[in-house]
Structures are given as structure tokens and as C-alpha cells.
Amino acid sequence: MGNLPVSVRASSRLVVVTMLVSLLEACGGGDADAAGVESAAAEGTADALKSKVKQYRLTDLGEIAVNPVITSTDRVGCLALNDKGQVAGSAFFPGSINEHAFLYSDGVRQDLGTLAGGFSAGCGINDKGQVTGYSRYVNPLVQKTMWHAFLYSHGAMQDLGLLVGAPLHAFSVGYGLEKKGRVTGYAPMLGEASHHAFVYSDGVVQDVGTLGTSSSEGNAINDKGQVTGSAGEQAFLNTGGHLKFLGTLGGSRSVGYGINNKGQVTGAADLAGNVARHAFVYSHGVMQDLGCLDGDTDCHGLAINEKGLIAGVSGSWNFADFTTRRAVLYSKGTVRDLNELVDASGAGWHLHMADGVNNSGQIVGKGIFNGGWHAFLLTPVKKGQQDD
């Protein structure tokens, strides 16, 4: 039976156990012997199933800044991961009173600085190590605080500016970044109180549109230039300038957070009656409900890789209660609490949110460790290297 699926082997083992129990009872073996056989078989089956669950080793990326001023409260600050295992985020560095965007690579966190003082946050990263995000500073021309999207490349932070015609005191935010350096985010339009999703490419900030709603935001972009985010209160997909709503799970709201190169989108959508919000995957025109961890009512898919693995968060509607939020991984229709999949390296951690997953299966996220917010990187443990 060596080549049979674990579920079939488990079923076969239970049949054998039943036969042994019957023989013991017929021979007067007693209840104790039967119970012993059943217990041993159950433990063996549990061990077999456990061996099929991937474990992760945790790397502490250090204390981070969690600033919800610009980022959605469902995201609680920015973190992003590329296929090389490099991470972008924000942290406090020695000598600085404000948080700065960082690039984590090979065990070192590099301070990326800011556009003009103030603070900055790294929200997106590609495999070239380019980083996008936003930087807040005071514009001396108008004496107002503003946020501008940036692209960090080749050791320099470039201001991506604003949508054409926007006033000097307007703002822009960069969230997603793909291999060619195209950035998506959002910024206000001239004369409008709302903001529009944009795509930055080769020095030009292009308006993505709003699908007739009051505002839109671009959250992620893939290497084909497809963008997902939200327009009004619904998730959208922009392909070659054509926008479409992705729908909901029966409620009124949805948002797209992540997209892979297959055009699959993950995010969160309300159920009928808006009584709960579930993570979803949108593929081939269909939005599939991914559910939450047992007992939870509010969960989000935040990133998706080429294999369809989805990183996210599951918890309750009470976002202020951080203890209810748990980092999760969706795989093949199953949602798992990442807190239960980390080996001994995760001792003392509460993994709060999984922000990104790359094509090697590494996961980046944020959690509570030693009473503070830390970023973590989870790396799959190879067979034979798992802790006992």
C-alpha cells in the first residue's frame, strides 16, 4: 500500500484494526487489549497525517513599524516578499525619529530613507529588489503634509508624483510592483475629493478609472500589467485598460488584494446580509469562497503565488482585538493556522497576519513577539529536517 494516498492507507489500517479487535474478543483477549490496539492504530494514523502537513522554520526580521495612517486597517502596515526571499516594509532605525522603508536581504535590513524627511513605508517589491511604497513629508511650497508614492531602484528613491493635473497638496500611494517597474496604487484627481487607482510606468502616472464609482484603489499588479484592487465597494480586475467588477459572495462589498501571473485574484468579500467577510479566490470568471478558520467571521486573502497558495489573516469583526487575528495559509481548499505549522523556532510568537507568499512557498508576515510587532519570514522545512 506504499503508493496509496494517506487517506486510503488510513482507512485500510482501520479495517485491519477492526478485524484484530474482533479476533481478540472472540479469543477472550479482553477490552484492555482491544483498546490498546485501537489506541496504537489511532496514534499511527495521526502521525501519518501529521507527516503530510508542511512545517515552517521562522526567521525573525526584527521589530517593525505598524502605521495605519495610509494603509487599510485590514492590512495594518505594509510588508511584501519577492521570489528571492527579500522583504520590504518599514521600521525604526538608529538616529531616526520616524519609521523608514527597508529592504531585508540576506539577513540585513537596509534603510531606504525618505523622499524629504518625514517617514516612509515599503509596500511592494519585485525580483530586482526594487521597492515601492509611500513617503510622508511637509511640502514647503504649501506648508501641508502629504504622501507621495516612490520607486526605490539602484540605491535611489524616486518620487512618482501625482496624477496629471492634481494640486500640489494632493497625495499618492504605491502598493504593488511588478518586474518591469510598473507600480499601482492610488491618488486624487484634480477637483475631486475622491481618489483613483493608477499605474505608473516609465515616468507616467496613468489613471485606471473607477467603473463609475466615487473612488478606486490599486492594490496589486502582476507581470502582465493586470491590476486588482477596489472600485467603490467592490473588487475589480483591470486587464489592458478594461475594468470589470469581480462581484461578491452574496453581500455588498469586496476588495482584491493580490494577483498572480495567471490572473487569479485573492481578497475578501461579504457574505449575504454582510454578516461575515470571507477570503476568496477569483479564477476564470468565478469567485470561490475560501472560508475562515473555525469560529471566525472575518478573513482576508492578501497574496497569491503561481501555485495558488494564498497567504492571509483570519479573525473576528473586532479588528482592535489583535489576539483574535491569526496568520493563515489557504492551500487546495483548506485553511490552516500558521501558528500551528511553525517548528520550535516560533516559540513565543503570535503570528498575526501573513502578508505575502512567494513561489518557493516562503511566507512573510507580522506578529507579536516579546510584546512588540515583529516581521517574520517562514521557510518550508524539507522532509527529514522537521523537529521531532
Q: How confident is the model at residue 15 (pLDDT cuts 50, 70, 90)?
A: very low
Residue 24 and residue 106 in one domain: no
Segment 303-310 shows an average pLDDT of 98
Distances (CA, A) of 101 to 61, 110, 135, 352: 14, 8, 8, 21
Report if residue 1 sits inside a domain.
no
CA 292 – CA 315 distance, rounded (Å): 8
Residue 37 and residue 93 in one domain: no
Tell me, what's the pLDDT at 349?
A: 97
Tell me, what's the pLDDT at 25?
A: 41
Higher pLDDT, 230 or 388: 230
Pairs from 321-327 (Cβ < 8 Å, separation ≥ 24)? 322/352, 322/368, 323/350, 324/296, 325/352, 325/353, 326/293, 326/350, 326/351, 326/352, 327/351, 327/352, 327/353, 327/354, 327/363, 327/365, 327/367
Decide if pLDDT at 257 tops 90: yes
Residue 309 and residue 214 in one domain: yes
Residue 25 and residue 169 in one domain: no
Residue 170 and residue 36 in one domain: no
Q: How confident is the model at residue 6 (pLDDT cuts 50, 70, 90)?
A: very low
Decide if pLDDT at 187 tops 70: yes
Report if residue 299 sits inside a domain.
yes
Tell me, what's the pLDDT at 143?
A: 64
Residue 43 and residue 61 in one domain: no
Look at 111-115, 136-140, 178-182 and tell me which has the smallest mean pLDDT.
136-140
Segment 112-127 shows an average pLDDT of 91
Tell me, what's the pLDDT at 8?
A: 33
CA 228 – CA 283 distance, rounded (Å): 13
Decide if pLDDT at 73 tops 50: no
Report if residue 388 sits inside a domain.
no
Residue 245 CB neighbours (<10 A): 15
Residue 125 and residue 28 in one domain: no
Residue 92 and residue 44 in one domain: no
Tell me, what's the pLDDT at 231?
A: 97
Decide if pLDDT at 185 tops 70: yes
Which structural domain range is residue 353 located in? Answer: 56-380
Report if residue 168 sits inside a domain.
yes
Nine-digit cell string for 374: 515583529
Q: How confident is the model at residue 38 (pLDDT cuts 50, 70, 90)?
A: very low
Residues 6 or more apart in contact with residue 378 via CB below 8 angstroms: 56, 57, 58, 59, 338, 342, 362, 363, 364, 365
Asked if 88 contacts 107 with a C-beta cutoff of 8 angstroms, the reply is: no
Look at 41-45, 212-216, 326-330 and tell me which has the smallest mean pLDDT.
41-45
C-alpha triplet 78, 149, 261: angle, nearest 5°: 65
Residue 21 and residue 139 in one domain: no
Higher pLDDT, 54 or 318: 54
In the chain, the amino acid numbered 157 is M
Tell me, what's the pLDDT at 344?
A: 97
Decide if pLDDT at 321 tops 80: no
Higher pLDDT, 54 or 107: 107
Decide if pLDDT at 40 tops 60: no
Report if residue 225 sits inside a domain.
yes
Mean pLDDT of the chain, nearest integer: 83
* 290 SS3 class: strand
User: Domain containing 192 — which CATH number?
Assistant: 2.130.10.150
Instruction: Please give the tally of structural domains in the chain.
Output: 2
Residue 263 and residue 313 in one domain: yes
Tell me, what's the pLDDT at 322?
A: 62
Decide if pLDDT at 10 tops 60: no
Higher pLDDT, 214 or 377: 377
Residue 208 CB neighbours (<10 A): 22
Segment 123-144 shows an average pLDDT of 85
- Residue with the three cell numbers 483574535: 324
Report if residue 34 sits inside a domain.
yes
Residue 222 CB neighbours (<10 A): 24
Decide if pLDDT at 16 tops 80: no
**In three state form, how does the secondary structure of 63-109 look?**
ECCCCCCCCCCCCCCCCEECCCCCEEEEECCCCCCCCEEEEEECCEE
Nearest in space to 192 (alpha carbons), one of 159, 170, 173 = 170
Higher pLDDT, 114 or 75: 114
Q: How confident is the model at residue 95 (pLDDT cuts 50, 70, 90)?
A: confident
Tell me, what's the pLDDT at 21?
A: 33
Decide if pLDDT at 258 tops 50: yes
